[in-house]
Amino acid sequence: MMLLPYKTRDWKSNIPYHIMSRSNWKERLFREEEDFQYFFHLLEQTSHKYPFQLNSFIFMQTHFHMLIKSDNLHYSHIMYTVKKQYAEYYNRKYTLRGHLFDKRFIVKPAYSQRTILIMSRYIHYNPVEINLVRKPEDYKWSSYPLLLKADLNVEKDLHLPSFIDFKPLLNPFKGTNNEKRKKYIQWCSKAY
């Protein structure tokens, strides 16, 4: 049987992409709190090498979702770096061998403001959908609690990692940044 190479994926600068990747065999990607922390740290470190903005994210036990945008680098470079380094860390820590991630990651572009909102709501409400928590702010490894705590009255919140950017989630709404956040939260909760 002949294996065909993967088809090259489309990429356009300044377009957010919803990326999802799951573990092989539905194995836990994050066994301990330290694993979640390390994965987040890898994203931050990778953002210094390959600049990108993370508009929303969630790390579940067997998969993760991210709404990510890069102005000048294909998202495949970012994902390759993060997933490779995390798999090496994970296999070393738990004395395992082989593939940690199942197949290629899934990617969908967000060409419109509405699509960005729908994707971010889906990401933030993922643990609510599967009855892990009652409210999205109760799930720690999500950008939703960060959004609620962020100081939106300054150009850049010093408590927020530099690669986190909530503006695409808030821009569709009118008012001050705090009013926009409130409207985004209300918009998201209408579906639930």
Per-residue model confidence as pLDDT tens digits over 114-168 = 999 999 999 999 999 999 999 999 999 999 999 999 988 777 777 899 999 999 9
Cross-strand pairs, 23 = 101
Can you tell me the distance from the alpha carbon of 162 to that of 90, in angstroms, rounded to the nearest whole number? 25
5 within some domain: no
Phi/psi-derived region of residue 2, left when phi > 0, alpha when psi is between -120 and 50, beta in every other case: beta
Q: Let me know if residue 143 belongs to a domain.
A: yes
Sign of the Cα torsion 140, 141, 142, 145 reads: positive
pLDDT in tens, 79-123: 999 999 999 999 999 999 989 998 889 899 999 999 999 999 999
Residue 2: inside a domain? no
Contact predicate 24/101, CB 8 Å? yes
| CATH number of 101's domain | 3.30.70.1290
Asked whether residue 10 is assigned to any structural domain, the reply reads no
Q: In this structure, are residues 59 and 22 in contact, taking their beta carbons and an 8 Å threshold?
A: no
Q: Find out whether 54 and 160 touch, Cβ atoms under 8 Å.
A: no
Token pair recorded at residue 58 = 């969630």
1 found inside a domain: no
What's the number of domains the chain is made of? 1
pLDDT band at 8 (very low <50, low <70, confident <90, very high): low
Residue 9 domain-assigned?
Answer: no
Q: Is residue 136 part of a domain?
A: yes
- CA dist., res. 133 & res. 70, Å (int): 31
CB-count exposure of residue 184 (10 Å: 0-12, 13-18, 19+) = buried
| Greater pLDDT, 190 or 21 | 21
Is 8 inside any structural domain? no
Radius of gyration of the chain (CA): 17
- Residue span of the structural domain in which 181 resides: 17-190
Distances (CA, A) of 53 to 8, 48, 68, 98, 164: 22, 11, 6, 30, 6
Q: Are 50 and 81 in contact (CB under 8 A)?
A: yes
Give the per-residue pLDDT at 145.
Answer: 95
